[in-house]
A and B are shown apart, each in its own frame.
Chain A
Amino acid sequence: MSMNNSEWKPKIVAFCCNWCSYAGADLAGSSRLAYPADVKIIRVPCSCRVNPMFILRAFQKGADGVILCGCHPGDCHYSTGNYYARRRMTTLFSMLDFLGVEKNRTHVEWVSAAEGVKFSATMNKFIEQVRELGPNVRLEDIRCKQN
């Protein structure tokens, strides 16, 4: 694949919790706030539904960056789900860094249903970070490359 960074568009997978962040994304949409279409949102019941395998699988199947969005700590629909997610993602991200995967490819952001502006800003910022890193090669599976 011959693509230079200017025409290359990073693929982002965003896991969004159903109760806050997905609604935040909706609000961003209905408020006509722009964020690139390369963000693919996967709705999950709670941020703690996301197990580390989801993140790795996303990278394997072609994501260049993975972001997890959930309710603000203390606001979880199930009271405590995001507290567990927070510990899980902290340790997982640290491990990915330990294995030499660029740390800017992963991110967690707490976005409430009222924060459409924050959602679009977060996505724009994250995409920029990932764009700087270029395509994901350290966690890719060549079989999943198209072409």
Chain B
Amino acid sequence: MFKITNDQMPKLLKAIAETKDLFLPINNNGVTNFGFYKEDCTPDLDTLRTVKSAKDAFFPQSEGLYAVTTEDGKFTISEEEYCNKDFVVFGVRPCDVRSFVVLDKVFLSDPVDTYYAARREHGIVVSLACHQPDESCFCATFDIDAAEPEADVAMWNIEGGYAWEAKTEKGQALTESIKALLEEADVAKEVETEKNCIRTILSVLPNSKLDVSAFGAGKTDDLFNSPMWTELSNACLGCGTCTFSCPTCQCYDIKDFNTGHGVSRYRCWDSCMYHDFTLCAHGTNRQTQMQRFRQRFMHKLVYFPDREGMFSCVGCGRCVDKCPQSLNIVKVIKRMGGNSNV
């Protein structure tokens, strides 16, 4: 195991950024989001949760697919290149790391999403255990251990800096490339203390391990027609805050933009909370906000387990914190399932 001190951290980030693109939490006017490292940016590894999740690294909110330009009646098509260069996603929390597994199920199963696959192949994930989890965290509900990141490299906050441990070959290669800045140290004991700290706090948080036995594969008939949905969704504004901050939401739309001298085709995240989601010639199959609201939670808690054998929620708590009207998946789970920590 290695140690990196707090004052060495900026040098480490700079060193990584010299050879690879570095995607990490950056503070902009007091708000922290993932973004690409620039010389003058303010990296922020202390904020527990970025507003948007780390999924932008592999599945950006919008990306160009190709552009068509016309000149003298001739078309030229220029395709967007696939990601072909290694990059590092730094400071990803264990819940977000698990979200990549959920996204893999969708994008890497047949037919493979080639844009996503290329990024996934070149991405190296450096995860940071959750020092001081928050009250809205409920990752343990989905058997995620906030103290034990499952990435290429795992990091823990320890006295004066961070512990660093490579977990995979990719992680080892990254470690080799910046070895000069890491200090070989026996910090196993300190890491153990940090893990215990994290687990102790999680054990007193009210929602850390919710009872989800009412959900899962095969529960569609039990839950679909529940009268609770109307009540739960009544205040829903139909905005996309929950979907866009969610690390596992994976729906997108493909659109064309008329540039005046051609067309630029791009894809962007879509939200099942929007009334024109999957709009077809015949209209839409979900007419009311209740139906859209139900779709979102049924998808995460029932349909996805039906198809893929796992929940597609990772308990990061972003939607809990961010919903404008305080509607969220925890309330859904509590009201329709068990009301207690297990």
- The interface of chain A, by Cβ under 8 A from chain B, is 61-62, 143-144, 146
Contacts and interface: CB of A to CB of B under 8 A. Distances in A.
B42 interface: no
B264 interface: yes
B261 to A, nearest CB: 5
Interface string B242-280: 000000000000000101110010000000000000000
B263 to A, nearest CB: 10
B134 to A, nearest CB: 35
Contacts of B260: 61-62, 144
Contacts of B67: 143
For the complex of A and B, the 3 pairs showing the least CB-CB separation, nearest first, are: A144-B259, A143-B259, A61-B260
Contacts of B257: 143
A144 B261 CA distance: 7
Nearest to A60: B260
A62 B264 CA distance: 16
A51 to B, nearest CB: 19
Contacts of A143: 67, 257, 259, 264
A86 to B, nearest CB: 30
Nearest to B264: A143
Given A143-B67, A143-B257, A143-B259, 7 more contacts: A61-B260, A62-B260, A143-B264, A144-B259, A144-B260, A144-B261, A146-B261
Contacts of A61: 260
From A61, A62, A143, A146, name the one whose CB has the most chain B CB atoms within 10 angstroms: A143
A146 B260 CA distance: 9
B68 to A, nearest CB: 12
A85 to B, nearest CB: 26
A61 B67 CA distance: 16
Contacts of B264: 143
Nearest to A146: B261
Nearest to A144: B259
Contacts of B259: 143-144
Contacts of A62: 260
10 contacts: A61-B260, A62-B260, A143-B67, A143-B257, A143-B259, A143-B264, A144-B259, A144-B260, A144-B261, A146-B261
Nearest to B64: A143
A58 B260 CA distance: 11
Nearest to B69: A146
A146 B257 CA distance: 14
